[in-house]
Amino acid sequence: MEERKYLFGIQDDGKTAGMVSYFFVIGWSIGYFGFHQPNKTSLSSYHLRQTLFLYLSYLVIRFGLGTILQSAGIFPIFYFSIVVNVLFIVLWVIGLIGASNAEKKPIPLLGNLAQSVFSKI
Protein backbone atom coordinates (compact mmCIF):
# COMPACT_ATOMS: atom_id res chain seq x y z
CA MET A 1 0.00 0.00 0.00
CA GLU A 2 1.31 3.43 -0.93
CA GLU A 3 1.97 5.86 1.90
CA ARG A 4 0.86 9.44 1.24
CA LYS A 5 3.33 12.25 1.79
CA TYR A 6 2.02 15.42 3.38
CA LEU A 7 3.56 18.86 3.62
CA PHE A 8 5.52 19.22 6.89
CA GLY A 9 4.32 15.73 7.88
CA ILE A 10 0.86 17.09 8.69
CA GLN A 11 -2.03 14.83 7.80
CA ASP A 12 -4.86 17.06 6.68
CA ASP A 13 -8.62 16.55 6.61
CA GLY A 14 -9.16 19.71 4.56
CA LYS A 15 -9.34 22.10 7.49
CA THR A 16 -5.64 23.02 7.41
CA ALA A 17 -5.65 23.65 3.66
CA GLY A 18 -8.74 25.81 4.05
CA MET A 19 -7.29 27.90 6.86
CA VAL A 20 -3.88 28.34 5.22
CA SER A 21 -5.50 29.44 1.96
CA TYR A 22 -6.79 32.61 3.64
CA PHE A 23 -3.27 34.02 3.90
CA PHE A 24 -3.10 35.54 0.43
CA VAL A 25 -0.81 34.30 -2.34
CA ILE A 26 1.72 32.35 -0.27
CA GLY A 27 -0.94 30.76 1.92
CA TRP A 28 -3.19 29.93 -1.00
CA SER A 29 -0.27 28.33 -2.85
CA ILE A 30 0.75 26.28 0.19
CA GLY A 31 -2.87 25.26 0.77
CA TYR A 32 -3.37 24.21 -2.84
CA PHE A 33 -0.05 22.61 -3.75
CA GLY A 34 1.02 21.39 -0.33
CA PHE A 35 -2.19 20.20 1.28
CA HIS A 36 -4.89 19.95 -1.39
CA GLN A 37 -2.98 18.22 -4.21
CA PRO A 38 -1.84 15.16 -2.21
CA ASN A 39 -5.15 14.78 -0.38
CA LYS A 40 -8.12 16.38 -2.14
CA THR A 41 -11.10 16.91 0.13
CA SER A 42 -14.35 18.74 -0.48
CA LEU A 43 -13.66 21.08 2.45
CA SER A 44 -10.27 22.18 1.14
CA SER A 45 -11.68 22.61 -2.38
CA TYR A 46 -14.52 24.69 -1.01
CA HIS A 47 -12.29 27.15 0.87
CA LEU A 48 -9.71 27.34 -1.91
CA ARG A 49 -12.47 28.44 -4.28
CA GLN A 50 -13.77 30.95 -1.73
CA THR A 51 -10.39 32.57 -1.14
CA LEU A 52 -9.34 32.66 -4.78
CA PHE A 53 -12.55 34.46 -5.72
CA LEU A 54 -12.27 36.78 -2.72
CA TYR A 55 -8.73 37.83 -3.65
CA LEU A 56 -9.46 38.29 -7.34
CA SER A 57 -12.61 40.29 -6.54
CA TYR A 58 -10.63 42.49 -4.18
CA LEU A 59 -7.99 43.24 -6.80
CA VAL A 60 -10.54 44.02 -9.50
CA ILE A 61 -12.71 46.22 -7.29
CA ARG A 62 -9.96 47.96 -5.34
CA PHE A 63 -7.60 48.72 -8.19
CA GLY A 64 -9.70 48.41 -11.35
CA LEU A 65 -12.92 50.08 -10.26
CA GLY A 66 -11.07 52.44 -7.93
CA THR A 67 -8.89 53.73 -10.74
CA ILE A 68 -11.90 54.19 -13.03
CA LEU A 69 -13.85 56.09 -10.36
CA GLN A 70 -10.91 58.33 -9.55
CA SER A 71 -10.08 59.13 -13.16
CA ALA A 72 -13.73 59.97 -13.82
CA GLY A 73 -13.71 62.27 -10.77
CA ILE A 74 -16.70 60.46 -9.28
CA PHE A 75 -15.23 59.31 -5.99
CA PRO A 76 -11.92 60.11 -4.24
CA ILE A 77 -9.73 56.99 -4.18
CA PHE A 78 -8.84 57.45 -0.51
CA TYR A 79 -12.40 57.01 0.75
CA PHE A 80 -13.18 54.31 -1.77
CA SER A 81 -10.13 52.29 -0.72
CA ILE A 82 -11.04 52.54 2.98
CA VAL A 83 -14.56 51.24 2.34
CA VAL A 84 -13.35 48.42 0.08
CA ASN A 85 -10.54 47.40 2.46
CA VAL A 86 -12.85 47.26 5.48
CA LEU A 87 -15.47 45.28 3.54
CA PHE A 88 -12.95 42.72 2.36
CA ILE A 89 -11.33 42.40 5.79
CA VAL A 90 -14.77 41.59 7.23
CA LEU A 91 -15.41 39.02 4.47
CA TRP A 92 -11.92 37.55 5.00
CA VAL A 93 -12.52 37.14 8.75
CA ILE A 94 -15.92 35.51 8.15
CA GLY A 95 -14.32 33.06 5.72
CA LEU A 96 -11.39 32.30 8.03
CA ILE A 97 -13.75 31.61 10.92
CA GLY A 98 -15.73 29.24 8.70
CA ALA A 99 -12.54 27.43 7.68
CA SER A 100 -11.32 27.14 11.27
CA ASN A 101 -14.67 25.62 12.26
CA ALA A 102 -14.51 23.23 9.27
CA GLU A 103 -17.78 24.63 7.89
CA LYS A 104 -18.82 24.99 4.28
CA LYS A 105 -20.42 28.35 4.88
CA PRO A 106 -20.23 30.73 1.90
CA ILE A 107 -18.70 34.16 2.28
CA PRO A 108 -21.49 36.76 2.10
CA LEU A 109 -21.96 38.44 -1.30
CA LEU A 110 -19.31 36.34 -3.07
CA GLY A 111 -19.38 32.78 -1.76
CA ASN A 112 -22.03 31.17 -3.94
CA LEU A 113 -20.65 32.79 -7.08
CA ALA A 114 -17.15 31.54 -6.19
CA GLN A 115 -18.38 27.96 -6.04
CA SER A 116 -19.83 28.13 -9.54
CA VAL A 117 -17.01 30.12 -11.18
CA PHE A 118 -14.18 27.94 -9.84
CA SER A 119 -16.00 24.62 -9.81
CA LYS A 120 -12.96 22.83 -11.32
CA ILE A 121 -10.78 23.36 -8.23
Burial (CB count <10 Å: 0-12, 13-18, 19+), residue 35: buried
Residue 17 has pLDDT above 50, yes or no: yes
Residue 16 has pLDDT above 60, yes or no: yes
pLDDT band at residue 92 under the 50/70/90 scheme: very high
Instruction: Tell me the pLDDT tens digit for each residue of 109-119.
Output: 888 888 888 88
pTM of the model: 0.81
Instruction: Tell me the pLDDT tens digit for each residue of 27-51.
Output: 888 888 887 877 788 888 898 999 9
